[in-house]
Amino acid sequence: MEHDALFDPFDLDGINLDNRVGLAPMTRTSATADGRATEQMKRYYAKFARGGFSFLISEGTYPDEAYSQGYDNQPGLANESHVEAWREVTDAVHDEGAPIFAQLMHAGALSQGNRYVEETAGPSAVEPKGEQLELYGGSGEFATPEEMTKAEMDDARQGFVEAAERADDAGFDGVEIHGANGYLLDQFLTEYTNERDDEYGGSVENRIRYHTEVVEAVQDAVPEEFVVGVRISQSKVNDPDYRWSGGEDDAEVIFGALDEAGVDFIHVTEEDITEPAFDSGPTLAELADEYATVPVIANGGLGDPEAATRTVESHGADLVAQATSALANPDWPNRVAEGRAPDEFDFGEILQPDATIGDAEVPAESE
């Protein structure tokens, strides 16, 4: 199968991409204890740009010094020291010729490591399903969060805004607002974690409201050329089988609302994005493409170049983002362009016993 579709250039809201393949965000818990990006992280991200990825999305980065941090040794964009540290990373990536977006992630009720507060907070006082992720240093059940007040929601929204402004100062080309995978914004969208009886609870129109308010507030605060996207999924890190109860009707409301709020791209992710979003019918990428007008990035199960090509050619995505396949193949785009088969991802070799960046993943400056 020819893979020419993956190597067509693309204009992402004014940023010229050399191809359609980007790096997906992946939590690596390798920052300093106080949330600063490291020299190791600088070399880690630069190698993906050098390997042909046309855009990079950072790991989930916490935006404030309150409830947002999710994991120990997670990077932040919550203060000036974080900005200075990330600037080293963005400079290195730009030197290799690629743009990089900061993913802004508020963990909400899924927080399992926070140096600023002991409690967790979410839309409602509902204990999250499952157990903390050992991969990222957690163990045991999640704590039951405190229900966020309107004032705390305002503070969290402002945290996203100020973190986006810091991302601009740090040299990022844009931000991706993490609205997926069970974290705070997704907790508002999810029926069983959102028991509110105000304008943020009940109908899907209400449950997507906090997403759209965050997007609008960030867009109002950053320069016009600064890209603002959002990540959306049905599945969660603690509940992989969750699906929107309203099916395609929910998808129409969700993607339409995000589009109207002014996002510059929608990044959909599932374990296998090539599968139907529900029991049958279109994929989540195809639904995003149908109900929104902005570019769609697809992630999940696309390490096979043929699957990635089909997704761009005919299954709703303008761009694809590689995660585990990128870990196994930091030069995945270059390999595919040259006709070389990518290596298989080995979970035990790369992400065990934990997800921190290993020494083998970060080439020396001279390489």
Query: What are the catalytic residues?
Result: 183
Phi-psi group of 97: left, alpha or beta (phi > 0 → left; psi -120 to 50 → alpha; rest → beta) = left
What Rg do the C-alpha atoms of the chain give, in angstroms?
19
- Tokens representing 276 are 């139907």
Q: How far apart are the first and last CA of the chain?
A: 33
Distance of CA 216 to the CA centre of its chain: 18
- Tokens representing 84 are 């200075």
- Contact by Cβ (8 Å): 211, 205: no
Rounded-to-integer distance, Cα 104 and Cα 214, Å: 11
Q: What is the 3-state secondary structure (H, E, C) of 49-81?
A: HHCCCCEEEEEEEECCCCCCCCCCCCCECCCHH
Other beta carbons within 10 Å of 26: 18
In our burial notation (b when 16+ CB lie closer than 10 A, e otherwise), range 182-208 reads bbbbbbbbbeebbebeeebbeebebbb
- Tokens representing 243 are 């699906």
